Amino acid sequence: MITIKEASAKKDLRAFVKFPFTLYKDSKYWVPPIIKQELETFNKDKNPIFNDAEARFFLAYRSGKVVGRVAAIINWLEVDKQNIKKMRFGWFDFVDDLEVSKALLETVENIGRDHQLSYTEGPVGFSNLDKVGVMTEGFDHLATMITWYNHPYYVHHYKAHGFKIEKEYSESRFPFSNVKPQFFKKAVELIKRRYKVKALSFTKTDDVMPYADRMFDLFNKSYASLSSFVEITDIQKEYFKKKFISFINPEYIKFVLDKDDQLIGFAIVMPRFAEALQKANGKLFPFGFTHILKAKKNSKEVIFYLIGIHPDYQNKGIHALIFNEYYETFTEKGIKTCYRTPELEDNVAIKQIWKHFDPKVYARRKTFIKNL
Dihedral sign of CA atoms 79, 82, 84, 85 in order: positive
Cα–Cα distance, 231 to 252 (Å, whole number): 24
> Does residue 149 sit in the same domain as residue 243?
no
Residues for the chain: how many in total? 372
Say what percent of the chain tops pLDDT 90.
70
Residue 75: which pLDDT band, with cuts at 50, 70 and 90? very high
Report for 208-222, 274-288, 356-370: range of highest mean pLDDT: 356-370
**Numbers of helices and strands, H then E, in the chain:** 12, 14
Q: What is the pLDDT of residue 231?
A: 79
Cβ atoms 202, 250 nearer than 8 A: yes
Residue-number span of the structural domain to which 54 is assigned: 3-171
Of 140, 101, 187, the closest CA to residue 368 belongs to: 101
Residue 229 has pLDDT above 80, yes or no: no
Helix ranges, the chain (H) = 10-23, 35-41, 76, 98-114, 154-160, 185-195, 205-223, 234-244, 274-280, 288-298, 318-333, 348-354
Residue 115 in this model has a pLDDT that exceeds 80: yes
370 within some domain: no
* Domain identity same for 350 and 216: yes
Q: What is the pLDDT of residue 220?
A: 85
pLDDT value at residue 237: 80
Domain assignment present for residue 372? The answer is no
**Domain endpoint, select from 112, 138, 171:** 171
**Mean pLDDT rounded to a whole number for the chain:** 92
Identify whether 338 is part of a domain. Answer: yes
pLDDT at 133: 96
142 and 214 housed in the same domain? no
Residue type for position 234: D
In a domain, 346, yes or no: yes
pLDDT, position 88: 97
Is residue 371 one of the residues assigned to a domain? Answer: no
**Helix axis angle, 205-223 to 234-244, nearest 10°:** 130
| pLDDT at position 239 | 80
- Judgement on whether residues 69 and 144 belong to the same structural domain of the protein: yes
Indicate the residue among 103, 137, 171 that finishes a domain: 171
**Is 179 found in the same domain as 146?**
no
Q: What is the pLDDT of residues 298-321, one digit of tens each?
A: 999 999 988 889 999 988 889 889
pLDDT tens per residue across span 334-355: 999 999 989 888 877 777 778 8
Of 207-211, 238-242, 309-313, give the lowest mean pLDDT range: 238-242
The reply to whether 14 and 80 lie within a common domain is yes
Q: Output the domain CATH number for residue 122.
A: 3.40.630.30
27 with 145, same domain: the answer is: yes
Mean pLDDT of 35-56: 92
Q: Does residue 302 sit in the same domain as residue 203?
A: yes
The answer on 112 and 147 residing in a single domain is yes
Please say which residue of 152, 171, 190 terminates a domain: 171
- From the number of C-beta atoms within 10 Å of its C-beta (0-12, 13-18, 19+), residue 229 rates as middle
Annotate 223-278 with DSSP letters as a single string. Answer: HTTSTT--PPPHHHHHHHHHHHGGGS-GGGEEEEE-TTS-EEEEEEEEE--HHHHH
Region 81-91: mean pLDDT is: 94
Residue 199 shares a structural domain with residue 325: yes
% of the chain residues with pLDDT over 70? 99
Q: Which of 103, 157, 109 is nearest to 134 (CA)?
A: 157
Residue 179 shares a structural domain with residue 251: yes
Give the N- to C-terminal CA distance of the chain in Å, as an integer. Answer: 25
pTM of the model: 0.92
Range name among 80-84, 88-92, 352-356, 363-367 with the lowest pLDDT average: 352-356
- Span 154-184, pLDDT tens digits: 999 999 999 999 999 999 999 999 998 887 8
Can you give the pLDDT at residue 69?
98
What are 348-354's contacts with CB under 8 Å, separation 24+? 349/314, 349/315, 350/307, 353/307, 353/319, 354/172, 354/174
Q: How many domains is the chain partitioned into structurally?
A: 2
Residue 194 has pLDDT above 70, yes or no: yes
Question: Which amino acid, 178?
Answer: N
Same domain, 275 and 354: yes
Q: Residue 227: is its pLDDT beyond 70?
A: no
